Amino acid sequence: MTMPSIAIIDYGLGNVRSIANALETVGARSLLTRDQSVILAADGVVLPGVGAFRQGMENLRRYDLCDTLHRLKAVGKSLIGICLGMQMLLETSEEYGVHEGLGIIAGEVVRMPVTAKLPHVGWNEIAEPASGVWRDTIFYNVKEASSLYFVHTFAAVPTDAAQILTITEYGGHVFASSLQSGNFYGCQFHPEKSGEIGLKMLKNFVEML
């Protein structure tokens, strides 16, 4: 059986080595690339991200990748955005000013309104917002209240609450910790740094391609 190919979008921000290792662990062949033809030909795509929203979007524009991401959505290609990679899928972010995102998912990225210490760093639990939401998604067979690894100060607020796959509580505030829009997924946490549960999610993603 041929290993599925996963294009990891190389736009200058992200923990690409750990993502590549995790994908290979779950049986995929990873390709770090900003070549549009390679990205569009891959079985699936990962949009990683660690850093500032504004710089991330500037880099995507610099490498002419915004249209590529919209084309992926239009043709039904599967993608998972991680941390900043998820946030950039939305329309705007208020991180150090108001900045335009990809607009693939309607909504905004806002600073977490919590009294607890920011950034939110460490392990935290995910919950299913409604029964059955996780069926046939990357969270298939993931247990409620599983803990995953987070590093962030801002959080996504989608216009359509039905696109929220998981919720997480931090500092008295419940936020959307993952989203789904068709074949596009977004995770605020880092599955590649989340041990067995993160690998299970990535394996589900690969097996759904």
For 51-80, what is each residue's pLDDT tens digit?
899 999 999 999 999 999 999 999 999 999
Is the Cα torsion angle 19, 209, 140, 83 positive or negative in sign? Answer: positive
Catalytic position from the list 95, 108, 128, 192: 192
Q: Are 149 and 196 in contact (CB under 8 A)?
A: no
**pLDDT of 154-191, one tens digit each?**
999 999 999 999 999 999 999 999 999 999 999 999 99
What is the distance between the alpha carbons of residues 204 and 200, in angstroms, rounded to a whole number? Answer: 6
Q: Is the pLDDT of residue 14 over 90?
A: no
pTM score, two decimals?
Answer: 0.95
**Residue 116 pLDDT level (bands cut at 50, 70, 90):** confident
Could you tell me the residue ranges of all domains in the chain? 5-207
DSSP-assigned beta bridge partners for residue 148: 124
**Residue 114 pLDDT level (bands cut at 50, 70, 90):** confident
Average pLDDT of the residues in 70-92: 97
Q: Are 68 and 28 in contact (CB under 8 A)?
A: no
pLDDT at 49: 87
Which CATH fold topology does 5-207 show?
Rossmann fold (3.40.50)
Token pair belonging to 209:
């391609």
Percent of the chain exceeding pLDDT 70 equals: 100
Instruction: Please identify which residue in the block is written with the tokens 């997924």.
Output: 185
Instruction: Please identify which residue in the block is written with the tokens 């662990």.
Output: 25
Mean pLDDT of the residues in the chain: 96
Q: Is 83 a catalytic residue?
A: yes
pLDDT at 133: 95
Catalytic position from the list 70, 83, 125, 169: 83
Q: Are 168 and 174 in contact (CB under 8 A)?
A: yes
**Residue 2 pLDDT level (bands cut at 50, 70, 90):** confident
Catalytic position from the list 99, 120, 152, 190: 190
Q: Is 192 a catalytic residue?
A: yes
pLDDT at 1: 61
- The amino acid at residue 66 is C
pLDDT at 143: 95
